[in-house]
Amino acid sequence: MSESVVSEIKRKYMHKLAQANKRIDGRSFNEYRPLRIETGIIKKAEGSAKVELGNTKILVGIKLEQGEPYPDTPDSGVLTTNAELIPMASPEFEAGPPDENAIELARVVDRGIRETEVIDLEKLCIEPGEKVWIVFIDIHVLDYDGNLFDASSLAAIAALLTAKVPNERFDMGEDEPLPIKNDPPISCTFVKYGGVIAVDPCLEEEIIAEARLTVATDKDGNIRAMQKGLSGSFTIDEVRKIIKAAVDNGARIRKILNESTGRENGKEN
């Protein structure tokens, strides 16, 4: 994003730091920024979470509406994920329909939740073939200082884990918790620049990054999703190293997620 406007001087400076085993914000290469998750903050939403990852701030709101199921899954609720890179979050973001960056972000978050079957979509069927719950995950990027993939994915999951089905609004009885099926995957993103690999890149690192790899892992240390980005390449060994680090970081992040969503004991609904 906007690579051409960054001076070569800055790039060279950061490469030099990398050679000296240093990051521009003083972290070690395997150090995640401070992470804060807050849920249930939007009254009008069925679920919501704000994630602060360093200076990056993401707000995710969940809305449930009723609609028709897809013809090929008449017994299942529908999941749809949208990301808005609003101009508030960065001078580089422009108003208008989602661009390729917003679309990639929404699709990666969506696949992580969908493929792992975090939500029990079959329990969101109201009338088979006729009426089901549609779960809208809306990712609102408020402040952009790098690593939207991890922050957005976490915020979406935290919002889902604490969301409700709004039966009352539709005169269908009392609200109930959104049915959760599987433990969510934890996404962990790495970038490569100047010969080093850094976890949880801040914006200045993203701007000069050559390649990016996001790995989502489950609580058993298995891989649930991967997404490589940018025009640089990885060696096979680098990928293996990243997977290992993603599993390690994933466990720590999962703990924070569980604490902030009242799932400390790891028990599932």
Partner 1 sequence: MSKKPEDLKLIDENGRRIDGRKPDELRPVKIKAGPLYRADGSCYIEWGNNKILAAVYGPKETLPRHEQHPLKAIVNARYNMASFSVEERKRPGPDRRSIEISKVVGEALEHIILVEKLPRATIDINIEVLDADAGTRCAGLTAAAVALADAGIPMRDIPVACSAGKVDGQVVLDLCKEEDNYGEADMPVAIAPRKKEILLLQMDGHLTPQEFDEALELAIKGCEIVSKLQKEALLEKYIKEVGRENE
Q: Which residues bind partner 1 (CB under 8 A)?
A: 4, 41-45, 48, 55, 57, 59, 61-63, 65, 73, 82, 84, 86-91, 95-97, 100, 103-104, 106-107, 111, 115, 136, 138, 140, 142-145, 169, 213, 218, 221-236, 239-240, 243-244, 247
Which CB atom, from 34 or from 97, has the smaller least distance to partner 1?
A: 97
Three-state SS at 58: strand
Which CB atom, from 83 or from 198, has the smaller least distance to partner 1?
A: 83
Beta bridge mates, 212 = 191, 229
Sequence-distant (≥ 6) Cβ neighbours of residue 151 within 8 angstroms: 51, 53, 56, 57, 58
Which CB atom, from 231 or from 265, has the smaller least distance to partner 1?
A: 231
Beta bridge mates, 37 = 51
Which CB atom, from 61 or from 69, has the smaller least distance to partner 1?
A: 61
Question: Measured from the CB of residue 95, what is the shortest distance to partner 1 in angstroms?
Answer: 6
- 52, 59 contact by CB (below 8 A): no
Which CB atom, from 62 or from 198, has the smaller least distance to partner 1?
A: 62
Question: Measured from the CB of residue 20, what is the shortest distance to partner 1 in angstroms?
Answer: 26
Phi, psi of 168 (to 5 degrees): -60, -45
Question: Measured from the CB of residue 105, what is the shortest distance to partner 1 in angstroms?
Answer: 10
Question: Measured from the CB of residue 156, what is the shortest distance to partner 1 in angstroms?
Answer: 12
- 126, 190 contact by CB (below 8 A): no
Secondary structure element (H or E) that encloses residue 141, with its range: strand 131-143
Which residue is associated with the tokens 């073939």?
Answer: 129
Sequence-distant (≥ 6) Cβ neighbours of residue 268 within 8 angstroms: 180, 182, 183
Question: Measured from the CB of residue 236, what is the shortest distance to partner 1 in angstroms?
Answer: 7
